[in-house]
Structure 1
Amino acid sequence: MNNRSAIDEEQERDEKMQKYVAQGFSQEQIDALLLNEQMVNERDAQLQNIYSNIVDLHSMFKDLNALVIDQGTLLDRIDHNVEETKTQILKANKELEATAKLAKKSKFVMIVMILVVLIIAMLFALLLKVVI
């Protein structure tokens, strides 16, 4: 396939040379034209390669953009969860403090009740002793 392409290029070159000769160009002018044409074709191939690389680079940047957006969303969710956890911990601490105060009050009330019951029992025992 490559040989076929080389043969086709050679035939095309010969046809161009005959056309230029028919138009009255000198051999130097024809050589200069063919050289310029070859340089233009090489330059075009290089530009096509650069274009292809730019398209690939564009695709990579789009993929990178998608990854950055996904990671940003993930970081936002993590940040939200951390803030929510902090809020829940603060609420839990307040509830624990309230429970501790309530437990202290409950102990005090229990001691007072026991003392009241003991006083009533002693008064009742004293009354029974006096009556008997």
Structure 2
Amino acid sequence: MNLENTGIEEKTVNIKPLDRLMGHHAFIRAGQWDYERVTYDYKIGSKENNITYYIRIQGYAIEGDVDLGNAVIQLKTPLLGKHYYPHGVEYGEEENFPENLVDRAHSLVTRVKEAIDQQEK
């Protein structure tokens, strides 16, 4: 599910401050990157059997190189996904997400956006 109108879409941030900022908000990049793209995930546990939710914020380098740590990242529309063990994460619009989870996801992404805004000042 796309998390529309969060304000984070199209933000551009240098990779090193972005990594620090995202880690501060519990969004983990781990090994999810290549030379041009990054993916940050926030894991949300569930009482449902074998279900975990993820908020995913992706971005791509508009200049520089992620591996070298000199990239400028442009962020994309965040996603809310549901992980079905052992099949993987589904982001499709046909997925049903509890309203309180969607609200929480928007709130978490908004906090990240506000932190990016503060960094820009």
| TM-score over 0.5 (shorter chain) | no
TM-score interval for Structure 1 and Structure 2 normalised by the shorter chain: under 0.3
TM-score (norm: length of structure 2): 0.28
Query: Whose relative contact order is higher, 1 or 2, with alpha carbons under 8 Å and at least 6 apart?
Result: 2
More helix by share: 1
More strand by share: 2
TM-score (norm: length of structure 1): 0.26
Question: Larger C-alpha radius of gyration, 1 or 2?
Answer: 1
